[in-house]
Amino acid sequence: MWPINGDDGRVSDDRPPTVAPPGLSRRLIILEVWIVLALSLGRSGVFALVDLIASATEPGKLADQAAVLNSSRAPGRPWIDLTFQLLALGFGLAPVFLVAYLLVRSGQSLRTIGLDTSRPQQDVVRGAVVAAVIGGTGLALYLVTHALGVELTVVPENLPDVWWRIPVLVLSALQNALLEEVVVLGYLITRLRQLGWSPGASIVVSALVRGSYHLYQGLGGFAGNAVMGLVFGWLYTRWGRVGPLVVAHTLMDVVAFVGYALLAGHVGWLPTPADALGG
- What pLDDT digit, counting tens, does each position of 53-100 carry? 988 888 777 666 778 899 999 999 999 999 999 999 999 999 999 999
Task: Quick: pLDDT tens for 22-59.
Answer: 778 889 999 999 999 999 999 999 999 999 898 888 87
Q: Residues 6 or more apart from 221 whose CB is under 8 A from it? A: 67, 142, 145, 151, 152, 154, 211, 214, 215
Where are the chain's structural domains? 66-277
Q: How confident is the model at residue 1 (pLDDT cuts 50, 70, 90)?
A: very low
The whole-number pLDDT of residue 260 equals 85
Task: Quick: pLDDT tens for 235-278.
Answer: 999 999 999 999 999 999 999 999 888 876 666 556 665 554 44
The whole-number pLDDT of residue 5 equals 35
Q: What is the rounded CA–CA span in Å between residue 227 and residue 220?
A: 11
The whole-number pLDDT of residue 77 equals 95
The whole-number pLDDT of residue 192 equals 96
